[in-house]
Chain A
Amino acid sequence: MENSTIRKSKVWSPEKIDEIQEKAELGRYRIRGQATKRQDLPSFDDLVFTPAGLSRVALEGYREKCDTQVVIGAGRVKRPLVLETPIMVAGMSFGAINSNAKKALGIAATRCGISTCTGDGGMHPVEREASEKLVYQLLPSRYGLNPYDLKRADAVEIVVSQGAKPGTGGTLLGQKVSEEVANMRDLPLGVDQRSPCRHPDWMGPDDLGVKIDQVRIATNYEVPVFIKIGAGRVYDDTKLAAKAGADAIVIDGMEGGTAASPEIQLDHTGIPTIAAVVEAAEALHEIGMKDEIKLIIGGGISNGADAAKAIALGADVVYIGTAMLVALNCNKSLYVEDYEALGTVPSACHHCHTGKCPVGIATQDPALMARLNPEEAADRVENYINSITMEMQIFARSCGKSKVTDLDPTDLRSLTMSATMITGVPIVGMGTTRKPYWANYDHSTEMTEMALR
């Protein structure tokens, strides 16, 4: 039969056809959770460590210590934030996830000596109780914000934007606006909540400086103040955030997660984390504040290699959100029929926006919530955090560093030209700027001479 071969088009791929037909049904853009699913982004996988050999001495893993502690706000505030390992649990709102998940993250973070973060929607009492170190987010929505919780925070994070969806506000679909969520946010029950993208009471970096001063007064100058920005114009934004007076700057790359966002924005806004960290570190270095202001990098960090490479490129701490949820059980092969009912499978689920999370994390439904045991989940997250810490230490020790934060760009080589262009790290095979000895040969002459012999 003529033309019997089934050929799929690259232009009109099955995914693209699905997307068009779904929009034709929905009457709006697609909204979903998790993060971009682009396969073509430059990432930390494009870099490798170059461990010690004869030119450097590696540290003995079993005997020689490798320090992981980081302090944010030292010399700037009365009560700096001490992290026992350069990892923080990124902001995820009560609303996006439930109180069981918050509790589990808080218990695990406390055991590991690191912080959790409220996210949008206010400070849930369960989270405050479980988290010894809690970062309180101050967002454009101001949901649940009050001076008492502000004073109970261990750091305050002024959120300008989020890596998954920089330049837009938050979204929480009505199925997740339960009675408790609605009360905490002062919203009508079950509305599709949209929150603003701009803060209500400041517009630019000069105003932001006054705002930071206000927060410092309200917290009695005790705790560090962060500014979080979705990665876009990172170089300029970092300088402006530093000028505004932040103790730490959080840059959230485009691989950052979300509980609900327009899908098209996940894939087409912001810049990748690997590029963001370089721009931010360069900006702080240029204004002479690299040591004083801490740089926190988030967006797709999933293991100790990502974290250590981000640190080597200039970050002081990494923010981890989605991977913490995965450690809780997100996308685990349990309750498979519920994944199927959502039209997905374990390991590919991004249905946080529906409120029907099969494993009981991104839901406010009491029956689904019961599937997440906070104590057991806390054990898993604790194990995960400890694993990443150990992985970071492996790289630091093997590069001859007794402190994870001593890793630097000279410990890295790039596998791709694009990673070299982005990071300035030499590509493998070109240890520094030197060329191999045959690079200066006049090859054409040799060939000619050989031919004439």
Chain B
Amino acid sequence: MEAVKAHMTIDCNEVSQKDLNKIIADSAKQGIKEVLIKNPQAKHNLGVGITDPIHIVYEGDVGYYACSLSDHISAVVHGTAGWAIGENLMNGEIVVEGNAASSTAASMRGGTVVVKGSSGARTGIGLKGGTLIVGGNVGYMTGFMMQKGRMIICGNAGKALGDSMYAGTIYVAGDIAELGNGAEIVELPAEEYEEIRSTMEGYGMKAPASFKKIVCNGMLHNFNKKEFGVWKTVL
């Protein structure tokens, strides 16, 4: 009986996107440990819907929705990522060595997504669990309607940070252009900083000297006519 290969290589110049996803999914099912994707050329929907454990290495840029709707996977992107990398990730680990576009880890439910560069608007939007680390800056509406999980942002954050968040925690080392409705800055306990530092170290990243901790202030949890000033902007 032929032994299952531990590694395989797929060249995007040689297979269609449809076939590529099928090969990755089948490989994961067969127990192949790692797949190297050559020439991804920022194509959309690479590595979508994979629910068996596999490590995917992208040797270049990826387009929309890379590694999305997946579970148990790990991936490294040696390049930049398009919109919504890691969208709805259930569990696993994704590392982007460059920048990521908008909606990074949108509605992620678990696992860890690391962007070593910056990430665009709506980063971590509707986050439902897991950890998102961004080495650089994040854009407008980051953490909008966040529900659970945590975001660690080493650079600056754009306007409407954490707007309408239900729960979860955002840590920002740099400047915050504007806090969103229902978000507030609270004191960062030393043990939490230590946990952030340790988590980042695991990805070869050095944590900034301090972070602001942003949480939901609960004012938008239940309507209160006495807080019209807050509610008029969200209802």
Give A residues with C-beta under 8 Å from B: 26-29, 141-142, 145-148, 150-151, 174, 185-188, 190-192, 194-196, 200-202, 207, 210-211, 213-214, 217-221
Which among B48, B106, B147 is the interface contact of A218 at CB below 8 angstroms? B48
Indicate if B45 sits at the interface (CB-CB under 8 A): yes
B7 within 8 A of A: no
Between A142, A192, A220, the greatest number of chain B beta carbons within 10 A of the residue's beta carbon is seen for: A142
Tell me the residues in window 54-97 of chain B with beta carbons closer than 8 Å to chain A beta carbons: 63-65, 68-71, 83-84, 87-88, 90
Complex CA distance for A195 and B51, rounded to whole angstroms: 27
B128 interface residue (CB < 8 Å to A):
yes
How near does chain B come to A102, taking the closest CB pair, in angstroms?
22
Does the CB pair A186–B109 fall under 8 Å? yes
Which residue of chain A has the shortest Cβ distance to B25 in the bound complex? A220
The chain A residue with its CB closest to the CB of B87 is: A201
Which residues on B sit within 8 Å (CB–CB) of A207?
A: 64, 83
Residue of A nearest to B89 (CB): A147
A187 to B126, CA, bound (A): 11
A218 touching B225 by the CB < 8 A rule? no
Residues of A within 8 A of B166 (CB): 187-188, 191
Contact A210 B144 (CB under 8 A): no
B196 at the interface (CB under 8 A from A): no
Beyond A28-B235, A217-B49, whether A150 also contacts B69 by CB under 8 A is yes
Residue of B nearest to A219 (CB): B49
Task: With A187-B166, A217-B21 as known contacts, state yes or no: A200 contacts B231, CB within 8 Å.
Answer: no
- B residues with CB within 8 A of A: 18, 21-22, 44-45, 48-49, 51, 63-65, 68-71, 83-84, 87-88, 90, 103, 106-107, 109, 122, 125-126, 128-129, 144-145, 147-148, 164, 166-167, 220-223, 225-226, 228, 231, 234-235
Q: Out of A147, A150, A202, A217, which one reaches B83, CB within 8 Å?
A: A202
Q: Other than A186-B109, A194-B235, A218-B69, give 20 A-B pairs with Cβ distance below 8 A.
A: A27-B225, A146-B90, A147-B70, A187-B147, A187-B166, A188-B221, A190-B222, A191-B222, A192-B223, A194-B234, A200-B106, A201-B84, A201-B106, A201-B122, A202-B84, A210-B45, A210-B64, A213-B44, A213-B45, A220-B49
Q: A146: which B residues are within 8 A, CB to CB?
A: 71, 88, 90, 109
Q: Within the complex, which residue of B49, B51, B129, B234 is in contact with A186, where a contact is CB–CB below 8 Å?
A: B129
Q: Which residues of B contact A27 (CB under 8 A)?
A: 225-226, 228
25 A–B contact pairs at CB < 8 A? A142-B126, A145-B88, A146-B71, A146-B90, A147-B51, A151-B49, A174-B222, A188-B166, A188-B167, A188-B221, A190-B221, A190-B222, A192-B222, A194-B235, A195-B145, A196-B144, A200-B126, A201-B64, A201-B65, A201-B106, A211-B65, A217-B45, A217-B48, A218-B49, A221-B18
Q: In whole angstroms, what is the CA distance A146 to B108 when docked?
A: 10
**Known A-B contacts A207-B64, A214-B64; A196 and B145 likewise in contact (beta carbons under 8 Å):** yes
Is the Cβ of A196 less than 8 Å from the Cβ of B126?
yes
CB distance from B101 to the nearest CB of A (A): 10
- The 8 closest A-B CB pairs, nearest first, are A27-B225, A218-B49, A201-B84, A142-B107, A200-B106, A200-B125, A186-B128, A217-B48
CB distance from B204 to the nearest CB of A (A): 28
Expressed in whole angstroms, the Cα–Cα distance for A186 and B129 within the complex equals: 9
Instruction: Kindly state the separation between the CA atoms of A185 and B44 in the bound complex, as whole angstroms.
Output: 28
Docked complex Cα distance between A78 and B71 (Å):
24
Q: How far is the CA of A146 from the CA of B90 in the complex (A)?
A: 7
Task: Using CB atoms, name the residue of chain B closest to A27.
Answer: B225
B126 to chain A, nearest CB (A): 5
Nearest CB to that of B227 among chain A residues?
A: A27
* Distance of A207 Cα from B223 Cα, bound (Å): 34
The residues of B that contact A196 with a CB separation of less than 8 Å are 126, 144-145
In the complex, the answer to whether A214 meets B45 with C-beta atoms within 8 Å is: yes
Known pairs A196-B144, A217-B49, A219-B49; A201 contacts B69 (CB<8 A): no
